[in-house]
Each structure stands twice: as structure tokens, then as C-alpha cells.
Amino acid sequence: MFRYSKNRNLLGLFCLLVALFTSCNTSNFKNNDVNKDIVETLLLTKNEIFQTSSKTTQKLESIGSIKFNSLKQPFETDVAIFVNTSKQFQEFIGIGAALTDASAETFFKLSEDQQRRFMEAYFSLDKGIGYSLARTIIHSCDFSSESYTYVEEGDEKLETFSIAHDKKYRIPFTKKAIEAAGGKLLMYASPWSPPAFMKTNNSMLQGGKLKSQFYQPWANYYVKFIKAYETEGIPIWGLSIQNEPMAVQRWESCIYTAEEERDFLKNYLGPTLEKEGLGDKKIIVWDHNRDLLFDRASVILKDPEASKYVWGTGFHWYEDWKDGTPMFKNVAAVNESFPDKKLIFTEGCNEAYDINRIGDPKLAERYAKAMINDFNNGTVAWTDWNILLNETGGPNHVGNLCFAPVHGNTQTGELTFTNSFYYIGHFSKFIRPGAKRISTGSTSNNLSATSFKNINGSIVIVVLNENDAEIDYRLTIDNQTSNVKISGRSIQTIILN
């Protein structure tokens, strides 16, 4: 799937030697004998550039090494990117996607060979893009083939609670993902709606609110879900309180005002998790778009009795329906106002599936632009929506068909890896958990960039060019400068060991 330079294996050995205790970002080392000549060669091949172009077949391809000279002051007419390694910010947790019912059902309609290929492509660090984070759903969402819950209708004591439904597809799919990720995958869960009998509209669909008399039973429901999944061998790292709590959708949805979410958390969910020995679970509030991100965070986090239960604030990217402009400034505002809390991107996808747009550069660039800006504004983790969908952009029980980075054709058995998969991989494969973001600036609106320093000391710079034209730019790392070229409609990752 990926193309490597002739020095690729040597580079992997170098990483292994200098970082025995950690994963190597630029992997794929196999059966090489270390000798004096090889070691001398390694010292000359520390740095490498990988590029994906949405205009060509170039996908995560090594395009050579990068050499630095003494610092040169750029002119105002120069395009330049600056990285200051002495200024470090948030610690990176991971990148991943949602393991939905739709993804699991599609996966098990593929051949075993394609299933292995899929898991390796997403979760292997050596041969794939190294996902380290995943989201799962608490019973059904729109990307399920039907609406369902884990209890019988009217069972407020939850005596009939069972996750038997998930054991057919989603649980085995999730276990395969954990195995492919090396046995460890941070997993958090989100509900789309309480059972119908707990809601004011007596339906899981079309919004409605959680009835006050069911606040405690609903809090108990989260506990039962977490314990049931962990009994199955799927550790739950965290959970969000409600997916999109301000959206009345034709699919599973439930509305909370900021005050209602705050009060449910501090009076019911938080205390219940602690009482049940689950106080270490990371609780994420909001889990909706960037537009109301600051408002929701402010209402909940300024209340100390609610804030003490909150790990961080989650957000989506769909606010751009208003004017086409993502509201990254609100991510920065929350980070500035509540620096002791985390920020996590919990969902984003390209809507309205259309096979004729599968190669549209803007689909992949939306991912890269969001990731660069969200990370630069303090985000610690980033989660795509469906990790896999079928050839129609589903299954989805209300016809809300969307794009995914990978589509599996359930008729032919073929997998399609879109440009979005590779663009995400420019981050997830090379920026590893525990990395620290470092200061990055650009002199031109034509290029955007973010940079991280991994635990093993390697520097990772990701550069996005959304323009049709090739761009020559100067890359300055502290007091060293290099001249670099990036193709039109491309993304680059530069690895400096």
C-alpha cells in the first residue's frame, strides 16, 4: 500500500536503535544485519519527506531526504514555515475513528483477505497508518441498520439489559481492531439517544428530552454498558454524555441545554460512575459542533461541582453549513479559558455520498485543514466518523449516506482507499501518542502546517497545499533552513530524526 525509498529499511533500523523503548514512526524494518557500513549510512539518512497528491497516484510515498543549512532570513516574497522546537504545548493522545454498526456490518461482508488488509492498513504502525484511538456507540445510531436498545421497552430497572445485539458484528469487529493495534486501543463511547420510554417524545428519533424521572436509570445504563463491554475484553477509556445534544435529527437524538447537561453530569452521571468504581473514566462534554463549543464549555466548566468530573470538551466540524467557514477560533477560546481541560475532536465526515466525488481533493483537504488547525489550537486527540462504509455510503437506517476514508464494496469485495485515508495517515502514522506539539508558523496563507516532537526525539512537520500550483518554500527548524518543494493539491510529512 505504501511506497518506500531504498533507504527505508535502513531508516527503520536507525529508529529501532535510538528508540528501543518506543514505536518508530518511520517503520518497516525487516531482517537487516547491522554492520559498520550500514551504521555510517544511517547517519546520513535521518530525515525523510513523505507526500500524497490528490492529483496523482502518489500516496504516502517517500520523495527523498531533506538537508539543512545555516539559517537564512526569508524575504517578504518568500513562502516559509518556521518551527521553534523549544516551545512545546499539549501532549498528543491519538488519532482514530468510530467503530460503528455500519462499519462492522460492512467489514464482515468482505473476504477474510480483505478484512486482514483493512485491519492492517488502519491499525498497523509498520504497514499501515497506526490508529491508536476509537469511538464506539451505546446501542444504535443512524449508522446502524435499525434502531435498538439494550433493554426491553419500559424496563426502568434495567433488569433485561443485554449487549447480545453487539456480539454479532460490532464486538468481534472491535476485538479485531484492538488486536491489529497491538492489543491496545483507547476506546470511548457515546450515546445518540436514551430508550424511547425515557424520553419526552417517546421516540429515539427526532430529538426529545430525557425525562427527569429517568436521570438516574439513564446514568445506570452507562455503567452497565461499560461493565458489559469490559467483560467482553474491550476496555472503555472514556465516554461522552450525549452525541450532538442540540440537534433534532430524524435519527437517534436527544436534546440537552447546557444547564441540563451540567446538572445530569454533576448530580447523576458523575456520582454514579464514582460509586460504581468507574471514576477513572474520561468524561467528555458537548460532543457537538465548534459554533457553540465555547458557550457549552463555559456553562459546564465554570461550575466546580460539574467541572470536577470533566476530562475535556468534544466537538464536531459540521458548523460550516452556515457559511462554509470552520470556526477554529472557538477551539482556541476554550483552550485559552480552560487550559486544565482537554479538547478532543469527536466526529467529522464528508456528507452526502456521491461516487462521482470519490476523488475530489476537497474531501481529503477538509480533513487535513481541520486537523492542522485543531491541533494548533490545543486539541489532544482527533476522531474520524465511520472507519468503513459500504459502496453506497451506508448502511444507514434513515438514508443519511456519507463518505468514509475507506469504502468496502459488498458486491465485489473490493476495498477503496480514498485520498482522505492517506491524508489522515500523514498525521496518525508519524505523530505518536505522547508527542508534544511544538510552535509552528507560516508566512503564507497558501500553506498550513503543524509540528510535533515524538517521545523518541523525532520531529514531525505536516504541511498542506490546497492550491493547484506547486510551491517552493523554506522550512526553518530553529537555526537551520532547508528549501522544499510541495506539489499542488498535496500533503507532506517531514520526519527529522
Residue 209 has pLDDT above 50, yes or no: yes
Predicted local distance difference test score (pLDDT) of residue 36 = 33
- Per the prediction, the chain carries an average pLDDT of 92
Residue 357 pLDDT > 70, yes or no?
yes
DSSP state of 25: S
pLDDT of residue 95: 98
The CA distance from 254 to 243, in Å, is: 8
- Going by the DSSP 8-state scheme, the letter that residue 167 receives in this structure is G
pLDDT interval class at 73 (50, 70, 90): confident
To 5 degrees, how large is the angle CA 8–CA 53–CA 383?
Answer: 85
The segment(s) of the chain belonging to CATH 2.60.40.1180 are: 8-90+437-496
pLDDT reported for residue 1: 58
Q: For residue 37, what pLDDT is reported?
A: 33
Stretch 445-451: mean pLDDT, rounded?
97
pLDDT digits (tens, 9 = 90+) for 371-394: 999 999 999 999 999 999 999 999
Query: Catalytic residues, which ones?
Result: 244, 347
pTM, two decimals, is: 0.91
Residue 413's alpha-carbon distances to 36, 109, 122, 145, 404, in angstroms, are 47, 8, 18, 20, 16
Looking at the chain, which residues constitute the CATH 3.20.20.80 domain(s)? Answer: 93-430
Residue 3 has pLDDT above 60, yes or no: no
Band of pLDDT at residue 117, cut at 50, 70 and 90: very high
**What would the pLDDT profile of 460-472 be if each residue is shown by its tens digit?**
999 999 999 999 9
pLDDT of residue 27: 36
pLDDT of 39 higher than 60: no
Mean pLDDT for 301-307 is 98
CB 437 within 8 A of CB 458: no
pLDDT digits (tens, 9 = 90+) for 244-283: 999 999 999 999 999 999 999 999 999 999 999 999 999 9
Confidence of residue 71 (pLDDT cuts 50, 70, 90): confident
Instruction: Give pLDDT, residue 107.
Output: 98
Q: How confident is the model at residue 4 (pLDDT cuts 50, 70, 90)?
A: very low
Task: Report the percent of the chain where pLDDT is more than 90.
Answer: 89
**Please, which pLDDT band fits residue 147 given cuts at 50, 70 and 90?**
very high
- Residue given cell 526569508 in the structure block: 74
Q: Angle CA(36)–CA(41)–CA(46) in degrees, nearest 5? A: 130
Q: What is the mean pLDDT of residues 209-220?
A: 98
Question: Distance (Å, rounded) from C-alpha 100 to C-alpha 385?
Answer: 8
Could you tell me how many residues make up the chain?
A: 497
Distance CA 128, CA 241 (A): 32
Mode of pairing for the β-strands spanning 459-465 and 490-496:
antiparallel
Q: Per-residue pLDDT averaged across 348-360, rounded?
A: 96
pLDDT band for position 70 (50/70/90)?
Answer: very high
Radius of gyration of the chain (CA): 23
When pLDDT is cut at 50, 70 and 90, the band that residue 72 belongs to is: confident
Give pLDDT tens digits for 164-191.
999 999 999 999 999 999 999 999 999 9
pLDDT at position 45 over 50 = no
Q: Find how far residue 319's CA is from the centre of its chain.
A: 18
What pLDDT, on the 0 to 100 scale, is given for residue 155? 98
Q: Is the pLDDT of residue 26 over 50?
A: no
Q: How many CA atoms lie within 13 A of 23 on its CB side?
A: 22
How far apart are the C-alpha atoms of 314 and 287, rounded to whole Å?
4
Q: At what angle do helices 419-428 and 361-376 cross, to 10 degrees?
A: 20
Per-residue pLDDT for 105 more than 60? yes
Q: For residue 10, name the pLDDT band (cuts at 50, 70, 90).
A: very low
Query: What mean pLDDT do residues 293-304 have?
Result: 98
Write the class of the CATH domain 8-90+437-496: mainly beta
Class of domain 93-430: alpha beta
- Contacts of residue 375, defined as CB under 8 A and 6 or more positions apart, other chains included, come to 92, 382, 437, 450, 452
Angle between the N-to-C axes of helices 361-376 and 328-337, in degrees from 0 to 180, rounded to the nearest 10: 20
Cell numbers that stand for 426 in this block: 500523514
Give the pLDDT confidence score for residue 2 in this predicted structure.
Answer: 55
- Which residues lie below 8 Å from residue 476, measured CB to CB, with a gap of 6+? 71, 72, 74, 80, 81, 82, 83, 482
